[in-house]
Amino acid sequence: MVRETYTYTSKMNGMANLESIIPKCASFSHIKQLQAYIFTSGTFKFSRARSKLLDLCAIASFGSLSFAISVFRQIPSPFTNDFNAIIRGLVQSPQPSTAFAWYRSMQRGSFRVDALTCSFTLKACARVLAATESLQLHANIIRFGFMADSLLGTTLLDVYAKVGNLSYARLVFDEMQLRDIASWNSLIFGLAQGSQASEALDLFKRMEVEGLKPNEVTVMGVLSACSNMGDFKEGEKIHGFIRNQKLDINVQVCNALIDMYANCGFVDKAYGVFDNMGCRKCLVTWNTMIMAFARDGDGHKALKLFEQMEKAGVQPDAVTYLAVLSACNHAGLVEDGVRLFNTMGKHEVKPNVKHYGSLVDLLGRAGRLKEAYNLINSMSMVPDVVLWQSLLGACRIYKDVEMAEIALRKLVEMGSNNCGDFVLLSNIYAAHARWNDVGRVRDAMKNREVKKVPGFSYMEVDGSRHKFFTGDKSNARWKEIYSKLDEIRFKIKELGYVAETSCVLHDIGEEEKENQLCYHSEKLAVAFGLISTSEGTPIHVIKNLRICGDCHAVIKLVSKIYERQIIVRDRVRFHKFKDGFCSCRDYW
DNA sequence: CTAGGGTTAG
């Protein structure tokens, strides 16, 4: 009797000690020693320490998921927690989708799935963008009666937003009994980064109405919405709110502010925030600001900041190099770009496919096609389509048929059926008057059912956004817009403008081609800006693709004739038109 | 089988 009591207490103490030691494990060998102890001491069968250790082993950087799995296999009848430990580890592994199989095996084996199991498995959905699996899990969660769990609800809505199912994210949000700040933040981020940025702002305003206090995460979400939409006015209001609430002591909030101003075309204001930060700058701060100068085409400021960053003792990372390379690219600083690329190794940054892409683009634009081609072939990794597309684009500038054919062949081999690629090759043939080849490309396009990404542009007036597609007549004032375009066409012809019809592929007459160019989305947006904003105010336009060559030429003239500053944010950079010139100095 | 799980910038 006495002896039994003794054994009992010592065992309890042993387990308690064991559990308190587990978080102190600092190496794989510590884990293994404890695991061996649990195995041999007889506590393996029921011990809670077992699943805790499994958990640590599966997720810690010094742990080993495969070892955790092999230990799991030794458990005669694993508990839910043991499964959870493994699933959590799988989600963070390079193959998150393996978590689904484990989840299913739990159900098959009639093991109890709990809210945590669902939470981890949902995370796997988010990581691999598994839309169907998230729906299935949602159904399970309802069936198990877990919907009242607000943490799980937030995870679910977050996953829906991340896999692109915004309407379901909203639905979950609306149906949650208990919504806390994280639920709101999650939906705001989802909307901001999806295609419903203005809805994110609406939600932010609704928070105020419902008496909820936005925190630093919330403002980062709405700033990212403003950044995406180029909504400078709202962004500035939020900046005011941030100052009031003293949220700018948070470095991430400051970074989001810099990004917002830069993405709205106000690189100076971005720098203002950068220069007056009340908190310590971090790597992302420098990267964001360098990227801002890069997108603005100010290569020298970007490179100067890069030097300052090094002096401040901040080690550059892969993103920093991408930013400086792209700065060199947009500013035509070829030698600097090549030099920087070659010094990456010194900072222990390994070039990835994006760095190569930037350098190929840089060399190509500078007419060094052969070097660009050799660079692609020298890569140790598989080149992606972007590299060949860059080379193809450069071939068009320099009218290099041979190289263009190689690039397009590669693209076709890689399964690309992007309309733009074929058009580029066709343009090059056309430039050499090789009309048979032009026809051949056109036939190939018909046979392949090439995909065309529709171009569109935004223009914001008085807080509402107007979206234009090519030849769009959906705007309430479309008639005025089109007659403004007629007026523009008339005026610029007087200045000697000739339409650049080479980028129109269709088998139609010159006049018809000119008409097609005439109603490109960016032109519609600029014309709308002219008629709907007061004289002398700048016009901001955002385009989803790169600006077209003809539009570029026309907008330069428009900026002169109408004495307007016109700022176009395209897919990769800003074009700031003033007095007939563009900030890109026609190098893009 | 006390707990653990949710939102965050380039």
Domain boundaries, chain A: 193-280, 470-582
Instruction: Give, in order, the Cα–Cα distances in Å from A251 to each of A181, A225, A278, A498.
Output: 20, 18, 9, 50
Dihedral of alpha carbons A83, A85, A86, A87, sign: positive
Closest nt by CA–C1' to A119 = B5
Q: Report if CB A115 to strand B is under 7 Å.
A: yes
Q: Return d(Cα A519, Cα A368) in angstroms, integer.
A: 34
Q: Report if CB A565 to strand B is under 7 Å.
A: no
Three-state DSSP at A60 gives: coil
Mean pLDDT per segment of 10 residues, for chain A of length 588 residues? 37 57 74 72 68 80 84 87 93 93 93 95 95 95 93 96 95 92 95 92 92 94 94 94 94 96 95 95 96 95 95 94 95 94 91 93 92 92 89 88 88 86 86 86 84 86 84 91 92 85 60 75 93 92 90 92 94 92 86
Instruction: Give, in order, the Cα–Cα distances in Å from A28 to each of A61, A147, A422.
Output: 9, 38, 54
State which residue has its Cα closest to the C1' atom of B5: A116
Q: Return d(Cα A520, Cα A345) in angstroms, integer.
A: 44
Q: Side chain identity at A536, as an amino acid letter?
A: G
Q: Report if CB A93 to strand B is under 7 Å.
A: no
What is the predicted pLDDT for the residue at A319?
95
**Element containing residue A539 per DSSP (H, E):** strand A539-543
Q: Report if CB A389 to strand B is under 7 Å.
A: no
Q: Report if CB A216 to strand B is under 7 Å.
A: yes
Q: Which two tokens stand for residue A253?
A: 């909030």
What is the predicted pLDDT for the residue at A9?
41
Angle, CA of A38, A47 and A105, to the nearest 5°: 105
Residues 484-503 of A with CB under 7 A from strand B: none
Global confidence as pTM: 0.88
Beta strands A574-578; A581-582: pairing state: antiparallel
Q: What is the DSSP letter of A114?
A: -
Q: Report if CB A288 to strand B is under 7 Å.
A: yes
How many other CB atoms are there within 10 angstroms of residue A432's CB atom? 11
Three-state DSSP at A335 gives: helix
Q: Return d(Cα A243, Cα A237) in angstroms, integer.
A: 10
How many other CB atoms are there within 10 angstroms of residue A211's CB atom? 6
Beta strands A456-461; A581-582: pairing state: unpaired
Q: What is the CA radius of gyration of chain A?
A: 29
3-state DSSP helix/strand/coil % of chain A, to nearest 5: 65, 5, 30
| A271: CB partners within 8 A, 6+ apart | A289, A292
Q: Return d(Cα A278, Cα A402) in angstroms, integer.
A: 56
Closest nt by CA–C1' to A46 = B1
Q: Which two tokens stand for residue A84?
A: 């959870």
How many other CB atoms are there within 10 angstroms of residue A570's CB atom? 23
Q: What is the DSSP letter of A379?
A: -
Residues facing A466 on adjacent strands: A459
What is the predicted pLDDT for the residue at A3?
37
Q: Please tell me the number of Cα atoms within 13 Å of A384 on its side-chain side.
A: 8
What is the predicted pLDDT for the residue at A426?
86
Nearest Cα to Cα of residue A406 among A446, A449, A377? A377
Q: Which two tokens stand for residue A72?
A: 């799991």
Q: Return d(Cα A228, Cα A230) in angstroms, integer.
A: 6
Name the packing angle between helices A2-21 and A28-40 (round to 10°).
Answer: 160
Residue A561 CA distance to nucleotide B8 C1' (Å)? 45
